[in-house]
Amino acid sequence: MRARIAVLAGDGIGPEVTEEGVRCLTAVATLFQHELELCPLAFGGAAIDSEGEPLPATTLQGVRSADAVLLGAIGGPQWSGSDARLRPEAGLLRLRRELGTFANLRPVRVHPQLLDASTLKAEVISGVDLVFVRELTGGIYFGEKHRDSASARDECSYSAAEIERIVRVAGQLARSRRRRLASIDKSNVLETSRLWREVTQRVMEREFAEVRLEHLLVDAAAMHLIRRPRDFDVLVTENMFGDILTDEASMLAGSLGLLPSASLGEGRRGIYEPIHGSAPDIAGRGIANPYGSILSAALLMRHSLGLEAEAAVLEQAVADALTAGARTADLVRPGEPACSTREAGQAVLSRLRPPE
């Protein structure tokens, strides 16, 4: 098959980890005799510096004509001052809105060889395999905003239709897995959460009666993610809660650098990126963890290109590299040498094998 992939490397460690994601994506395409056109485009803080805005018109045109988007990371202190007129994050929010990618999937699996990488006890995290479904284009991040010297306001709003469509994504995913769905809200305080719980209950009863539904307040969910993470299968929640909880959940796997994500809409085109930030403090040092970017490339093949076997081959190569001990600095045991970003990518490449 032929496909066009927009590559938005972004800022900080974004270019470093994206380079390894691209190398692995290209290698798998070659292995399976696919033809990929890779189109690098300016985005984030780098685009502010070079073109005066975080999402230039040429970049938006490029992603709209692509089959999928592979994204690195954006942001940095030079663009984050309280008086900053342009912020990289504004470009990311607009990109999601323009492409209609309302559903963010964030899988969290604990690799058996990395049980010691987490700060939690091995018996608590062993066997964890869950997926967050985060609503991505609504809520407080997209509401009306105001700030002056005396006060500030961020509006949070959700419509029933926005809730219904994200719950359907989560319900369909839960149906294909262990048929358990946890819906997370703050319905004891927030009106948006009361609507969220009401709509979720209605959709699940009518359309996914075979899936066991559990409602959790966000503070309780944060506690139970640490206390009983194996009990979770699919979790669905609104934008801000999902942003926070998925960073917490990354610690189950051992590092923020391990986790990929897929942002999907009604069609097949999606945005694929590791969930970590731009980490400007380690940018350019060649020590960033590329596994989240590489696994995001696997999600890209699965969800946007329909290449399930290819995605599975890449995911297995990552698992094999970790089993062999290819750990970056964020995963390494005290006193042991760490792989560089490039070496970790190479460890995956050397373990790519066609399916038997």
* 123 Cβ contact list (under 8 Å, min separation 6): none
Residue 273 and residue 72 in contact, taking contact as beta carbons nearer than 8 Å: yes
Active site (annotated) includes residue 145: no
Q: What SS3 state is found at 293?
A: helix
Of the residues 141, 158, 272, 291, only one is catalytic, namely 141
Whether 219 is catalytic is yes
| Active-site choice (67, 186, 233, 272) | 186
From the CB of residue 201, how many other CB atoms can be counted at a distance below 10 Å? 14
Going through 176-319 in order, the beta strands assigned E by DSSP cover: 180-185, 212-217, 234-237, 260-264, 270-274
> Could you confirm whether 243 is annotated as catalytic?
yes
CB burial of residue 273 (10 Å; 0-12, 13-18, 19+): buried
- Tracing tokens 């609503």 back to the chain, one arrives at 135
State yes or no: is 141 an active-site residue: yes
If phi > 0 it is left, if psi is from -120 to 50 it is alpha, else beta; for residue 44 that is left
CA triple 134-73-148, angle to 5 deg: 75
- For residue 272, indicate whether it is catalytic: no
Pick the catalytic residue: 49, 116, 219, 281? 219
Distance from C-alpha of 185 to C-alpha of 197, rounded to nearest angstrom? 7
Select which of 243, 272, 291, 330 is catalytic.
Answer: 243
- Catalogue the active-site residues: 141, 186, 219, 243, 247
